[in-house]
Amino acid sequence: MFRFVTGCFMVATFCALSIATVRASEVNVYSYRQPYLIEPMLEKFTDETGIKVNVLFAGKGLVDKMVQEGDSSPADVLLTVDIGRLSDAVNQEVSQSFSSSVVNANIPSQYRDPDGHWVGLTARARVVYASIDRVAQDEITYEELAGPKWAGRLCTRSGQNAYNLALFASLIAHHGEAETIEWLKGVKANMARTPQGNDRGQVKGIFSGECDISIGNTYYMAKMRTNDKEPEQKDWAASAKIIMPNADGRGTHMNLSGAVLAKHAPNQDNGIKLIEFLTEDIAQEMYAETNHEYPLKEGVGISDMVASFGDLNADTLDLITIANNRVVASEMVDLVGYDE
Ligand SMILES: [Fe+2]
Cα(321) to ligand 1 centroid in Å equals: 21
**Residue 313's closest CA among 338, 294, 288, 336?**
294
Domain 2-123+255-301 CATH (choose: 3.30.1370.10, 3.40.190.10, 1.20.1430.10, 3.90.950.20): 3.40.190.10
Domain boundaries 124-252+312-335, corresponding CATH code = 3.40.190.10
Which of these ranges, 2-11, 69-78, 192-201, has the smallest mean pLDDT? 2-11
> Do the domains at 2-123+255-301 and 124-252+312-335 have one common CATH topology?
yes
Cα(205) to ligand 1 centroid in Å equals: 18
152-169 b/e (C-beta count within 10 Å ≥ 16 → b):
ebbbbbbbebbbbbbbbb
Cα(185) to ligand 1 centroid in Å equals: 25
Cα(196) to ligand 1 centroid in Å equals: 15
Per-residue pLDDT tens digits for 258-296: 999 999 999 999 999 999 999 999 999 999 999 999 999
Cα(127) to ligand 1 centroid in Å equals: 13
Cα(22) to ligand 1 centroid in Å equals: 34
Residue 37's pLDDT is what?
Answer: 83
Residue 17's pLDDT is what?
Answer: 37
Through-space distance between the first and last CA atoms of the chain, rounded to whole angstroms: 27
Domain boundaries, the chain: 2-123+255-301, 124-252+312-335
Per-residue pLDDT tens digits for 115-128: 999 999 999 999 99
Cα(85) to ligand 1 centroid in Å equals: 12
Per-residue pLDDT tens digits for 110-167: 999 999 999 999 999 999 999 999 999 999 999 999 999 999 999 999 999 999 999 9
Evaluate if pTM is beyond 0.85: yes
